[in-house]
Amino acid sequence: MLVLRRKVGESIVLAGVINVSVLAVEGERVKIGISAPPDVSIVREELLHNNNEPAEPRTTPIQQSTR
């Protein structure tokens, strides 16, 4: 496992097409944003272990600032 440290506003890029950004740190919780092509499924780990059926991917688009 690769372990990286990132600050709020910093990102990492996976396979040249998936961007993982640190949006906020609130106590022990980290809010991340993931930008990936539509064919890449993004699922929280606990949902994978909830049942044997594959989880349906859901996205919540966030309007980006134009500044």
Is 47 a domain residue?
A: yes
Is 49 a domain residue?
A: yes
Is 9 a domain residue?
A: yes
Alpha helices (runs of H) in the chain, residue ranges in sequence order: 45-48
Is 66 a domain residue?
A: no
The 10s digit of each residue's pLDDT in 6-16 is 999 999 999 99
Is 41 a domain residue?
A: yes
Considering the chain, what percentage of its residues have pLDDT values greater than 90? 61
Apex CA 13: angle with CA 55 and CA 20, to 5°?
50
Q: How confident is the model at residue 38 (pLDDT cuts 50, 70, 90)?
A: very high
Is 61 a domain residue?
A: no
pLDDT > 70? residue 35: yes
pLDDT > 60? residue 54: no
The token pair at 5 is: 């440290």
d(CA 60, CA 17): 18
Domain hosting 1: range is: 1-56
- Please state whether the predicted TM-score (pTM) of the whole model is above 0.75: no
